[in-house]
Structure 1
Amino acid sequence: MSNHPTVIVLAGLLIGVIGSVDSVHAEQLITLRNGLTLRGVYIERSTLDENSFSVGADGGIQTPKIWAVDDGLRRTYIHRRGMVNNEPVDIPDLGLHIEFPQPVSEGGDEVGSIGRILGVSSLNEYGRRQLTVRGTDGSPTILHQGLTELTSRYARLEGLKAEKSIRLDMRVATESIDTPSLLRIFKKRMDQTDPNERLEAVRFFMEAERFGDAHRELQVILKQFPEQEELRPQLTALVERQAMQLIEQAQLRRESGQPELAEAILKQFPLGRVGRVTRLRVQDELTEITKLRTQRDETVAQLRKLVSGLPQADQAALTPIVDEIDEHLSANTLNRLSDFIRLGKIETTPARQRVALAIAGWILGSGSGEQNLMLTTSLIEVRDLVQQFLAHPDEAARARILDQLKRLEATRADYIAKLLPLIPPAMASAQAVTIHRSEDAATDDRPFILPINAVPDEHVQGMYHVGPNQDDFYAAAAAAPFAIPDAAYVVQLPPEYDPLREYPCIVALHAAGASAETQLNWWSGVASKQFLAPEESNASADGDAETTQPSVPDHVRLGRAAQNGFIVVAPRWTRGGQQSYEYTMREHDAVLRSLRSAMRRFSIDSDRVFIGGHGAGGGAAWDIALSHPDIWSGMIAIGAEPQKTLHHYNANAVYMPVYIVMGDKDGRPLKRNGAIYDDYMTYQHDAMVVMYRGRGKEFFYEESERIFEWMKTAEHRRPRFPESIEVKSMREGDRFFWWLEWQDSLPATVIDPILWDEAERIVAAQVSSTIGANNEIRISQAPSNAFTVWLSPDMPLDFGDQITVRYRNRRSNFQFGGEIDTLLEDARTRADRKRPFWGKVSIP
């Protein structure tokens, strides 16, 4: 929650009317090394393990190393030295704590565990509700709750006296309570004839940053109590703060690649109701959008002018690429032509060189500096052949394309590595459409090519289905339980999706018994009817049905992924009737194949791919992340139960940020799994364990805003290739880590997860390998005798010299000679266009 100056001024003015409020420095701001800031009261702990047999639980002395930051709604556990960036800063506590008298149960049993929520009623005017949960015997159980405390951050709901009373202190986010419910409660609690009490509601809405609600309530008060006229100027101040929220939303949309939406927000801005400073901010934002559009148009015009002055043969050869630049140059791609923008108008530089700068920039990106027009013309052909190679399903055809490439002047490994991230996804290119003869993709009227085998949803904009639907996926799994599953998933794209812009991505795994679509709802928002829905048919005036046009999706998702510009990929990963995560490679394959398929069809930034899930999906996300840490930028597990490999793979988590969310009434998690959470409370881990107070098995949508903030921090991008690999492996499929791979694991080092409880010995195999001095890679330990080491110039190696790989007394050498075979095949198979490997070495 921001401490905006307007809020402080308003609060100060209204305090004089309502009464004095104590300003106590009871909270701290704690800045973390991962870029987040926590607010609350911190408590030092030595362990999260509340098992009665754990070390320290028996009265032993341990040094506090963990901070539990309590903000009233939840506790966030972090390692002090590993996570905290500097000393906490004291800040005032929440300004308003409204208490409500309720017949709270003082006796009865304290609730230790809350089952899955089956239903919840709205709060009535007395601040009471019924919570229906699954009881221990599976039948519905009703809990009667009453609102006893309300702040701008959380609401406290306690168990009420009943025939069978229980003691329960549950906290929910205040933002989750709708305005009509709050107004009903305030109306019942506050004397409606006393303006001072009525203003308490206004102050509450202000502190909660619900400025529209505060504005409406203050208007009602001023109408009913004209004598409070001195507060009328505060209506204007509230409008100003609402305006700032709109500006912040427009800025977010522009930064997320949605300039048209940002411009629409700003152009509909109520300029006549705000002050001069706010009007200037709106104008500055609009000017910035217009400036980029103008620069784009001027850049294309300058390029066309230069090309028109070249010989006719050059004009004919360059017209297609200039038309392509004109069609696709935007705010998302303008930086590619930064060299041309800077030097394109310098008359002393020959036109051919300036045109070459533009084309090379478009194909290779900013900073290429290439000014040889013949070479850049060759680059166009290289790029087109690369796109054909990536999209072609036939091995023989790919071999012919590779042969053509090797005869071109501009075919160089470094050029191909630069152009790969800048081309459209392999299965969403014009070349893919031609190869697969996809009439749907070729004739679709979208502003981008419809990816091959991606089916647009009939009702929701930006939603696509790839592979079998839920029923067919279940049927295939039942027919062949051990077969590698086909990629099957649903995708939600953000507004104004541009395949030439890179987007962060969430691979979201659904809970057991749920569908993949439920994850799109959580991350991207439930699809809702547009306010101005497009017509479902455009029949002619005479009603001729044959002229009716195809229907246009009339629903949109407006959730956080849409606002922040994230692509959400939700794989189908469970068998029909599956009740828990089974830790099998079939499940891993279902997720990883879906991710690679999505990367071939949608513009996913492979350096910003996160995996998350709920319930069993949270456990799957956790395990898949630690089993393949080279893929992910971070992992989010919500309501997950760590089992099997997760008791042994902590070493793998050092390489990847971890965000774990649960309720403290989910079966006493710190007693059940505290020892596992302790493993993440070290100096080496970027880990946060979040525990909601008085909550059980839930999806915790309240945490989504902070999760997106966590994912967007600069620290949470896939790091560079590590110089040393120190990880654990326990399954046959867990045998690829960054640049080290082995073909088969030794039988004694793998455990079948289905037979986990029958295994005689459960020990994780150690994997150790290091890139050392003298251009040498040494494999010290791994559960195999045969390895493949993948090589890239992004690794701390000299690609101009011989590279040596050693394992025990075996040795293999590699000398890069400019070959592109491995580079292209790796980009095709792994679909990672940002970090393809250029070569590989095998031992033996």
Structure 2
Amino acid sequence: MVLVATLIGVVLGQATLVHAEQLISLRNGMVLRGVYLEVASMNQNAFSAGNEGGIQNRPIWVVDDGLRRTYVHRRGMVAAEPRDVPDLHERIEFFQPVPDGGEQVASIGQALGVTPFNEFGRRRLTVRGPSGSPFAILQGITELTAKYAKVEALKTDDSINLDMRIATSSISSDQLRDIFRRNTDPKNVDARLNVVRFFAESERYADARRELVRILDEFPDSADLKPIVGQYVENEARQLLEQAELRRESGQPQLARAILDQFPTRVVSRVTQVKVADLLGSMEETQQQVDMVHQRLAALVGELQEPVQDSLGGLVAEIKAELSPETLPRLSDFIRMGGNATMDPETRVSLAVAGWLLGNGSGETNLKIVLSLIDVRSLVREFLVEEDPGKRQEILTRLSSLEGARADYIAKMLPLMKPPMIDAIQSDSSIVADPSVAGMFHVGLDQNGFHVAQAEDPSAIPPVSYVVQLPPEYDPNRTYPCVVAMHAAGAIAETQLNWWSGVPQQAFLQQSSDPDRVVDESSVEEPEPPATMRLGHSIRHGFIVVAPRWTRGGQGDYEYTMREHDAVLSSLRHALRHFAIDSDRVFIGGHGPGGTAAWDIAISHPDLWAGMISISSRPGKTLLHYNENSKYVPVYIVKGDKDGVPLRDFGAIYDRYMTYDHDAMIVLYRGRGLDFFYEEADRIFEWMKTPGHRRPAPPDELEVVSMREGDRYFWWLEWDEMLPGLSINPVLWADAERLKAAPVKARVMANNEVIITQAPSDSYSVWLYPQMPLDFKQTITVRYRSRRKDFTFDQSVGVMLEDVRVRADRERPFWGKVQIP
């Protein structure tokens, strides 16, 4: 009975062990679990600390979960007092021949390769040695928990002391089963049950169930454990249900429906059956609403006069073809009022068409204006793809004659339009669908061609060149969050798709190696699967991944140049024009030098990003001077604590992010060097999906800095060139006489004024839109020193459309522009 109680405690999450860990809720919506302590500083460089006036008293919390240490600022990041939770970790120890002595490893080089664990729990890790040549380290698992595996260097002729931690989730079930078979006495029921508990705590319920069934077969006296098998089945079913809900939320309703239709309801509890039925019912109700809208709209249009029917024919056909659970909310007004027989058909049709074009809540019931909106949208799309300035002016002239060509209408219309250059995906020879990977496209030049083009004209803006991975069931009427993923120097862009989206596999849903598995996503059959599909995190969570080519041939590190910035930003703008990306949820991330580039580009252009993820980066140059900009961008930094000596080498810059006005998490993996940290992807996607990690509204008051010619656009303030002596060429950084960033300060005032108080130029462009605390019905004044310009909005849409055409941001178009002088 003791065994039963212990297993039930594991299954149900009840406390049977001592309180040893805490849950720490963060303001960004995440929850950290581990043992925490408070430190004053991350900077372990005594010389640097002395230069900055001694160690500052920063209340920094370090949360250690055994695998990694996560640093956050107490006041800025922690939302509530920690809560004690039971330590449910089943710790299993293994004997390994570790050295009694040997040299303590302070730093290890880049990981070059690693073998799978064998049945003894051993593997060979190859890293780059001090001389640059490969160096092999024989390692063995000495401790295993649901969270991490402690992997130590084993005794060899050149023994070293290295305690490395890897996520248990990164070890396959097949490897774990082999290790347990080798190291567990098959006749020791207690040891066998330890394995069951381990799998349960690791949430590998199929493995736990299978091992428990074997114990029941081999040890008849353990029959009282049989009810636990059913609980493991329930937990498997819960995971499958969560997967269906995630796919639906991520814009993959067909897959969600396929999972639910084949859900093993006969072997799960009544409660789970009801949850499945409720989710199916909700999806069915949504589909019924879609069908109802089709029928009602067709019937109402049929009651209109024939000329009006003809004018609406194309749009009604579009609604019929493209109305889906994702676009249905646009027609909420029509769903609510379309059946009201006291309203005439024209009014109800107007609600439907206006909702489709402008979104829910438009309230437009004038059919004449609604019909003009159809033409307005067509002309807006023409304008956004037209390269000839003369023809764009002709389009503006035609727009001015349409009653619906108002700025407020077009501003609502733009985010709901398909990407303006979506047709080019099929017609442009520079955009090629990958023939072997579903949803993958190659845009522009390949890596070699990109290098050649840059070598031919090093001063030119690099040609647009990137690879992109779309999620399953991609719908251009739905906007998707996006990761701009920066490859490491010497690597190719495609490696980033493998990290964020997974390595292509032969089938979308892989068949399980467990023949008696009760529930698994692999039971869902996908009709006519493509040759290969990616199954990784961006696929499950519904993210688009854009991996730009940004390095020149032979480049070994990030160079902090505008050539690199241009390569990335031009690729992002190209992707925004061609693919359905939500510009308010664009993140930038990268590895190694790509992580450094992502970091620098994020805080040099903070108006573009919802957040930044930097993995195994080495900050320098402008990153040491741009702290004023960094408070506008949430940052997630991941590094191994043996990748150099990070708290000595970079502790000073990390400290600058440990303040109350930064949304920053810095993660150091224990015993790891220069690595890719695949196991951190789960938390990174959780971090990106928190509600607070969307691009915030432009600040009313700008306080930023700049020290490069290209860093000259911040939300609504832009300048052409910097005053002499203020910009620094990153290539000549070491020769610069003065390394100081120029402050930029501007503010939107309460009296309908915008004032520039400090900036590194004599000429500026100030961009305006109604979401700023300005009254567009009154004169707006822009001041810089003794200069003054007044702006009166004349209802024209030329500035708005040109802004969207150039910046490709349809979520936040500017309506007006003031230039000084």
What's the TM-score bracket when you normalise by the shorter of the two chains?
A: over 0.9
- Alpha-carbon distance in 2 for matches of 1:123, 1:467: 41
What's the counterpart of residue 629 of structure 1?
A: 606
Instruction: Quote how far apart the aligned CAs of 1:226 are.
Output: 2.7
Name 2:473's counterpart in structure 1. Answer: 496
Superposed displacement of residue 63, structure 1: 3.5
Question: Do the aligned partners of residues 528 and 16 (structure 1) sit closer, same or farther apart at CA in structure 2, a change above 3 Å counting?
Answer: closer
Answer whether contact 1:10 1:237 (CA < 8 A) is retained. Answer: no
Q: Name the TM-score, length of structure 2 as normaliser.
A: 0.95
Is the counterpart of residue 417 in structure 1 residue 411 in structure 2? Answer: yes
SS of residue paired to 2:658? coil
Structure 1 counterpart of 2:36: 42
The answer for the alignment partner of 1:799 in structure 2 is 776
Distance 2:10 2:793 in 1: 76
After TM superposition, the structure 1 = structure 2 runs for residues 682-721 of structure 1, keeping only pairs within 5 Å, are: 682-721=659-698
Q: Which residue number in structure 2 is paired with residue 387 of structure 1?
A: 381
Q: Quickly say closer, same or farther: Cα 1:382–1:64, change in 2 above 3 A.
A: closer
| Offset of residue 103 of structure 1 | 2.2
Q: Secondary structure at the match of 1:485?
A: coil
**Partner residue of 1:757 out of 712, 721, 734:** 734
Once residues 268 and 700 of structure 2 are traced to their aligned partners in structure 1, the CA distance between those partners, rounded to angstroms, is 55
Note if contact 1:50-1:57 (Cα within 8 Å) is conserved in structure 2: no
For the structure 1 residues 62 and 685, does the alpha-carbon distance in structure 2 shift closer, same or farther, using more than 3 Å as the test? Answer: closer
Residue of structure 2 equivalent to 1:340: 334
- Per-residue CA deviation, residues 510-559 of structure 1 (Å, 9 max, x unaligned), is 001100000000001111111689xxxxxxxxxxxxxxxxx994110110
2:613 partner amino acid: I
Q: 1:12 to 1:253 in 2, by over 3 A?
A: same
Return the alpha-carbon distance in structure 2 between the equivalents of residues 409 and 531 of structure 1. Answer: 49
Q: Is the CA contact 2:8–2:228 (under 8 Å) kept in the aligned structure 1?
A: no
Distance in 2 of aligned mates of 1:340 and 1:58:
63
Pairing 1:644-663 to 2, within 5 Å after superposition: 644-663=621-640
Query: 2-side partners of 1:138 and 1:341: how far apart?
Result: 67
Q: Aligned residue for 1:249?
A: 243
Secondary structure at the aligned position of 2:398 is classed as helix
Cα pair 1:51 1:57 within 8 Å, conserved: no
Q: 517, 523, 545: which is aligned to 1:568? A: 545
> Which residue of the partner structure matches residue 445 of structure 1?
none
Distance 1:491 1:552 in 2: 20
Following superposition, the deviation at residue 189 of structure 1 comes to 1.9
1:271 to partner: Cα distance: 1.2
2:293 partner letter: T
5+ residue gaps in structure 2? 511-527
Matched, 1:23 2:35: no
Deviation for aligned residue 1:231: 1.8
Structure 1 distance, partners of 2:480, 2:731, is: 37
Q: 1:608 to 1:11 in 2, by over 3 A?
A: farther
Pair 1:578-2:582 in alignment: no
Structural mapping, 1:160-179, within 5 Å: 160-179=154-173
Please give the per-residue CA displacement for 1:85-110, whole angstroms capped at 9, x wherever unaligned: 01000001133111112222231111
Give the aligned residue type for 2:275: R
Give distance in 1, aligned partners of 2:175 and 2:136: 21
Q: What is the CA distance between 1:246 and its match in structure 2? A: 0.3
Moved more, 773-782 or 588-597: 773-782
Once the two structures are TM-superposed, the CA of residue 10 in structure 1 deviates from its matched residue by: 7.6
How far the C-alpha of 1:57 sits from its partner, in A, is: 12
- Alignment size in residue pairs: 801
Say if 1:163 and 1:498 are closer, same or farther in 2 by CA, change over 3 A.
Answer: same
Residues 457 and 553 of structure 1 are in contact (CA less than 8 Å); yes or no, is this contact kept in structure 2?
Answer: no
Who is 2:649 aligned against?
A: 672
How do 1:109-508 residues align onto structure 2 when only pairs under 5 Å count?
109-429=103-423, 440-441=426-427, 453-508=430-485
Query: Relative to structure 2, which stretch is displaced further, 475-484 or 217-226?
Result: 217-226
Indicate the residue corresponding to 1:548 in structure 2: none
* SS of 2:781 mapped into structure 1: strand
Alpha-carbon distance in structure 1 between the residues aligned to 2:397 and 2:329: 33
Alignment-derived partner of residue 840 in structure 1:
817
Segments of 5+ residues of structure 1 without an aligned counterpart are 1-7, 442-450, 534-550
AA at the equivalent of 1:740: L
Q: Is the 8 A contact 1:621 1:635 kept in 2?
A: yes
Cα 1:317–1:77 change in 2 (3 A) is same
CA deviations over 1:325-367 (Å, ceiling 9, x no partner): 1010000100000000000011111111011000000000000
| Identity rate, percent | 58
Q: CA deviation at 1:747?
A: 2.0
Deviation at 1:313, TM superposition (A): 1.8
TM-score by length of 1: 0.93
1:448 maps to which residue? none
Q: 1:683 to 1:338 in 2, by over 3 A?
A: same
RMSD: 2.0
CA drift at 1:471: 1.1
AA in 2 matched with 1:425: P
Contact 2:548 2:571 in 1 (8 A): yes
1:741 to 709, 712, 718: 718
DSSP-derived class of the 1:53 partner: helix
Tell whether the 8 Å contact from 1:21 to 1:95 is kept in structure 2 after alignment. Answer: no
Q: For 1:55, what is the secondary structure of its paired residue?
A: helix
2:85 aligned with 1:100: no
Instruction: Determine helix, strand or coil for the equivalent of 2:49.
Output: coil
Query: Counterparts of 1:343 and 1:705 in 2: how far apart (Å)?
Result: 43
- 1:64, distance to aligned residue in structure 2 (A): 4.9
Which amino acid counterpart does residue 578 of structure 1 have in structure 2? Answer: Q
CA contact (8 A) 2:24 2:81 kept: yes
2:507–2:530 Cα contact (<8 Å) kept: no
Q: Which amino acid aligns with 1:385?
A: L
Question: 607-616 or 90-99: which moved more?
Answer: 90-99
For residue 611 of structure 1, the aligned residue among 557, 580, 588 is 588
Corresponding residue SS for 2:631? helix
- CA apart distance, 1:131: 1.2
